[in-house]
Amino acid sequence: MNLKFAKGGKMVIYKIIKMTIMSQKDLIFNPKNWSRIATLWTRLQQSFRLMVGVPDYQNYLEHMKKHHPDMDAMDEKTFHRYCVDARYPSAGGTMKKCPC
């Protein structure tokens, strides 16, 4: 297999994904494993969101139910706004962290 670097390495990533799917197609396309694949996909999404600083809303809801049943949980839009403000405070017009 010829792994040449194309623009930004996209071709290499594409070939690795294709090779992985082709070598595991009997496992991937088996209906018994679809729930595992769905779980894996959900956890990958959660991991990528945490890498860029976006907390998981479902985990927040579970935490609120378990530890603070007497309090109302924030809606999703308010929760994400709160998290962004906590990460990049701009009170007083000064930016302490760069949002880039």
Q: What is the pLDDT of residues 16-65, one digit of tens each?
A: 888 888 887 777 778 888 888 888 888 888 888 888 777 888 888 999 99
In a domain, 3, yes or no: no
* Cα dist from 56 to 50, 61, 63, 73, 76, whole Å: 7, 9, 11, 14, 10
Number of domains in the chain: 2
47 shares its domain with 59: no
In a domain, 100, yes or no: no
Look at residue 31 in the predicted model and tell me its pLDDT. 81
Does residue 2 lie in a domain region? no
DSSP secondary-structure letter at 96? S
Q: For residues 66 and 60, give the distance between their C-alpha atoms in angstroms, rounded to a whole number.
A: 10
Determine, yes or no, domain membership for 26.
yes
Banded pLDDT at 97 (limits 50, 70, 90): low
Counting every residue, how long is the chain? Answer: 100
Question: Does residue 48 contact residue 59 with C-beta atoms inside 8 Å?
Answer: no
**Per the domain annotation, does 60 fall within a domain?**
yes
Statement to judge: residues 47 and 61 lie in one domain: no
Domain coverage including residue 78: 53-88
